[in-house]
Structure 1
């Protein structure tokens, strides 16, 4: 097997950031995606090999993965693209990583745990901002309170890429999701609110169906989990309104219009915005009588995704991993996030 990795979705916004950072760090990823015409300019500029293939063609997938050790899958929406790539990795005995934050993708990977172990393959979705920092924060807090029964996580985020925005459009009619008594439980959009201090004063946050509703349970075994994001008053009202407009927001004609509008916008944050941006996370564990809280300050989200994804790729290439379905903190520990430059953890109890 190769000592390097295949980066699928390399010509997308986040994929391109990862490809460029990989080269800066001395890695030689094979750039991959569906469209050779879009891949070739990037590959040429970076002096890298490229492979074009569709995930709909299992023969082509197997041929492309046959000589690589690790796939870093960056082509969303992952609810549509992860399954064929995971299946290809299982067939070719290739370790699978992705940058998803979609609950359904995490749960589907968890359901493949036995198959992955039989194939000697690690399935580790969520190696970016979704969900490395929050997963590590959850595991850190669990260690502080081993008998915790409730976990709440919160985050602030900056500008979105077109891919992230498209994923959100496709999920906007689905409502919210929490974990209650160990079970994933649907709730209305913007189900609960709370004021959270991420380090600069308390701000309004509301629940969203973030990936940690799935992954934090596997990492901590805490049965009750909620994830909050900072929102403006107007955004919160729009989310509440979606409870009653879900039927409309789910119509193909409405979603296609929104997606066309998204494609007319910039691919994602500019270099200057990413350099200046900061991602802040907050976490709380509690039982019937006490609680503990901590915060993280991290680089901007897409920069952070590039850094955490490559940190994990490097570990897997070095033989550091565990077969089967994994979460970042399960296989690399709660302090994994502290290996990333610019990350600061703070206890606030």
Structure 2
């Protein structure tokens, strides 16, 4: 029996892309949101001849969420910022034993899902897959692949992963992405040093040489810190760097020093999130189709031994991050929709992409979605 797919945030920018990606796979999701008129418009827009069903539901209505979501559902949500609007849906899915896929990028929310929902989800038979977009599936793929190669050369000790964009700018980010980044800038982040260790976002910066060009990024907590050490038990250090902002990335890392001071001011989080939402996309929901066509993503992972000798390096190039996120979420939702909830081989709990599907499957899927390994010397910006 095919399980029902409930798409929360269907009227938003990323939600609309996910809805279309699901339809392209032959899956018809139920579009979920707060505004009936907006839902009806989106349904007619994406499938005029036979609009998908819609459901009016507020993510903060805990009682209705728990009555609505069951083990026979696949929950896909793009409702952000997740640190403000994500916990109720994730909790309801874990409690019901449902499959759950989100596009979260905020470090505090991601860490919360693993640490607070892991045991409950496993006991209930739920599969919770946070951050299942370009961030952070491609980084998990690059990291696990690099660790696999490194094991043939020595003992992996340190893993570094960098996320970068090509052909885009600040205008290429959606309003929701900017709002999430702004809110997260005042929250605690984390890294991995033989275990998860709290730190501020942007505690350090680093650069990667790709295609003869230097790409810089600042440190951020991601799903990789919480999943990839399982792939390589010898791993003692893991850092992930976000470099969407090009040459401005080191400056943003420096600016993050003010975060702890700003966080203490009354109402600071609300003000920063509001300003971020207004800045996002400079008034647009997100980049138009022609803008997405001009941009792409680069993800690089490198593994070092304890003596700092580089054991391996993997660089992946792919299409626009929003398009890739929609495709990855639609793929996972399709797999979960057709999977048996009673399979004894089905791993449950809060999972990363590699834990949920295996390195080979994720690698083949990303290749099908035009994410390919490239030689660093031939990458073009």
* TM-score for both structures, normalised by structure 1: 0.90
* Structure 1 residue 59 displacement after superposition: 2.5
Which residue matches 2:343? none
**Residue 122 (structure 2) aligns with:** 117
SS at structure 1 position matched to 2:334:
helix
Please give the secondary structure, in 1, of the residue aligned with 2:148: helix
1:3 aligns with 2:17: no
The correspondence for 1:133, drawn from 134, 138, 156, is 138
Alignment of 1:241 with 2:255, yes or no, is yes
RMSD between aligned residues:
2.5
Which of 348, 359, 372 is the equivalent residue of 1:344?
A: 372
Q: Does 1:55 align with 2:59?
A: yes
Identify if the C-alpha distance between structure 1 residues 2 and 35 changes in structure 2 by more than 3 Å, giving closer, same or farther.
Answer: farther
Q: Which runs of 5+ in 1 are unaligned?
A: none
Partner of 1:171: 184
- Report the Cα distance in structure 2 between the residues aligned to 1:29 and 1:258, rounded to whole angstroms: 30
Is 1:209 the counterpart of 2:234? The answer is: no
Q: Deviations over 1:184-213 (max 9, x none)?
A: 2314x5433333123352233332334433
Q: Within 5 A, what are the aligned runs for 1:38-49? A: 38-45=38-45, 46=47, 47-49=51-53
Could you tell me which residue of structure 1 aligns to residue 321 of structure 2? Answer: 301
1:1-349 correspondence runs (5 A): 3-45=3-45, 46=47, 47-66=51-70, 68-111=72-115, 112-146=117-151, 147-157=155-165, 158=168, 159-174=172-187, 177-187=190-200, 189-221=201-233, 222-230=235-243, 231-244=245-258, 246-248=260-262, 251=268, 252-262=270-280, 265-289=283-307, 290=309, 291-319=311-339, 321-335=346-360, 336-340=362-366, 341-346=369-374
Between 1:294-303 and 1:336-345, the stretch displaced more is 336-345
Residues 50 and 275 from structure 1, CA distance in 2 versus in 1: closer, same or farther, beyond 3 angstroms? same
Q: SS of 1:27's equivalent?
A: coil
Specify every segment of 5 or more residues in structure 2 that has no aligned partner in the other structure, as ranges: 341-345
Structure 1 residues 190, 106: closer, same or farther in 2, change over 3 A? closer
Separation of aligned partners in 2, 1:12 and 1:205: 28
Q: Structure 1 residues 288 and 223 mapped into 2: Cα distance closer, same or farther (>3 Å)?
A: closer
Q: What CA deviation, in whole Å up to 9, does each residue of 1:328-349 have, x standing for no partner? A: 0112122314323211114669
Contact 2:196–2:225 (CA<8 Å) still a contact in 1?
no
Query: In the alignment, is the contact (CA less than 8 A) between 2:136 and 2:223 conserved in 1?
Result: yes
Following superposition, the deviation at residue 253 of structure 1 comes to 3.6
User: Structure 1, residues 267-289: CA drift from partner, whole Å, max 9, x if none?
Assistant: 11110121222101100111124
1:239/1:206 CA distance change after superposition, 3 Å: closer
1:52-94 deviation digits (Å, cap 9, x = unpaired): 1112222311333248421011101111222211221133321
Return the offset for 1:108. 2.1
In the aligned structure 2, how far is the partner of 1:123 from the partner of 1:220? 22
Decide whether the 8 Å contact of 1:4 with 1:27 is kept in 2. no
Report the 3-state secondary structure (helix = DSSP H, G, I; strand = E; otherwise coil) of the residue aligned with 2:134.
coil
After TM superposition, the structure 1 stretch with the greater mean CA deviation from structure 2, 294-303 or 74-83, is: 74-83
Cα gap change, 1:253/1:95 in structure 2, threshold over 3 Å: closer, same or farther? closer
Deviation at 1:174, TM superposition (A): 3.6
